[in-house]
Amino acid sequence: MNIGVSTASLYPLHIEDAFAKLAEMGVKTAETFANSTCEAREPYVSQICEMRDKNNMIIPSFHPFSSPMESVFLFSTYDRRVEEMLSMYREFFGSMNKLGAKIFVLHGAILSSKCPVEHYLKQFRLLAEAGREFGVTVAQENVSYCMSGNLEFLKTMKRELGDYANFVLDLKQARRSGADPFDYIDALGTSIVHCHLSDANADSDCLPIGKGNFDFMRFSEKMLSLGFDGAFIVELYRSNYGDFIELKQSVDVLSEIIGNLT
């Protein structure tokens, strides 16, 4: 299992600067979060690849800034907007091939879009099929303000889409949906291919690992029992921690827990 940090956690650093900081701290696995279209293009992709190789790092996943646009583009019924987003995301998939990233993180339509479930499933499969052309797995993240924040909706995706349904489990988003993260594991099982992790306590739903009271030992045991071989990615908001070193410390805490289980 790979344990690392999302460059999103270092916002508003530019992606190449965030990646360089993680490398400097000795983080060996990094999710790349592109905060603009240019960050998924040259010369930035090659800069990140160079740092990846120089520091023996792994990039398991890619997360685009364009998530808020997905409702009115990918999940709309307006063909030109759909094609426009498919074209942009295909370009991102090509960049992912260079980065070595296999998981594409999707938020999907927001709740207020009132996207019909049948249409959502059709559009998701369309993107998933495009991803497969590049060897990329499109994975639906549970997001509290999106349709994907509802566990019953995710169950529907799993039932109706078969092996096209893959998921990113985000702990803080599960908490914000008022749900128990362990219910997601029980319901989605081996369809969970990637995880965004954060700790929590009674005062905050997003903290560095080890600074809250979430049971990461139980969580890790459950994921390992499913044969999970994806990545545990620390994803925090910049306001939820102090110094960057807390990101590396979070990785170290998770690594120690996994080490004690394997």
Q: Is the peptide bond before 43 cis (omega within 30 degrees of 0)?
A: yes
pLDDT digits (tens, 9 = 90+) for 56-72: 999 999 999 999 999 99
Amino acid 100: pLDDT:
98
Instruction: For the chain, give the mean pLDDT.
Output: 97
Q: What percent of the chain is modeled with pLDDT above 70?
A: 100
Residue 262 has pLDDT above 90, yes or no: no
Residue ranges of domains in the chain, CATH in brackets: 2-261 (3.20.20.150)
pLDDT digits (tens, 9 = 90+) for 71-116: 999 999 999 999 999 999 999 999 999 999 999 999 999 999 999 9
Q: What mean pLDDT do residues 191-209 have?
A: 97
Q: For residues 60 and 29, is the Cβ–Cβ distance under 8 A?
A: yes
Full-model pTM? 0.97
Q: For residues 257 and 199, is the Cβ–Cβ distance under 8 A?
A: no
H or E stretch including 104?
strand 103-106
- How far is Cα 116 from Cα 75, in angstroms, rounded to an integer? 9
Q: What mean pLDDT do residues 15-19 have?
A: 98
Amino acid 1: pLDDT:
84
Residue partners of 31: CB distance under 8 A and separation at least 6:
4, 5, 6, 7, 8, 59, 60, 61, 62, 63, 101, 105, 231, 233, 235
